[in-house]
Amino acid sequence: MDADSITRWLGAIALILSIGNTVYVWFSKSGRELAHKLKDQRAETNGALTEVGDDIDALDSRVQRIEDALPHLPSKDDVADLRIAMAEMKGQMGTFDAEITSVARTVRRIEDYLRETKA
């Protein structure tokens, strides 16, 4: 092996190493950009998941309050019974009104009689 062939072989090896280095840098650069994008996306997703978790917690507490209050509310049968009772009371009030009117007339007559006999 003479100096010429060694120089050619070293040139070929240098060329292959240069091409390999270029390919490595090209792929590693896009890999770093992708890794950076993935990191940003992961942070954004974690933030969104935290917000969703907070919303779920808020909805859970609202549902719990409703479920706690629900047994104390009247049922449709209770409301129907109340309507019937109120209608009965309204009828009774009408009867009382008629009776009070007749009592008021009687009291007026007694007052008039007392005024006339006293005068």
Scanning the chain, the segments in alpha helix (DSSP H) are 3-69, 76-118
| Unique residue bearing structure tokens 């009291």 | 107
Residues 43 and 66 in one domain: yes
pLDDT digits (tens, 9 = 90+) for 64-116: 999 998 888 889 999 999 999 999 999 899 888 888 999 999 999 999 999 98
Residues 33 and 61 in one domain: yes
**pTM, to two decimals:** 0.41
Residues 2 and 16 in one domain: yes
Residues 111 and 60 in one domain: no
Helix (H, G, I), strand (E, B) or coil at 28: helix
CA angle 88, 89, 92 (to 5 degrees): 90
pLDDT digits (tens, 9 = 90+) for 23-59: 887 777 777 777 788 888 888 888 888 999 899 999 9
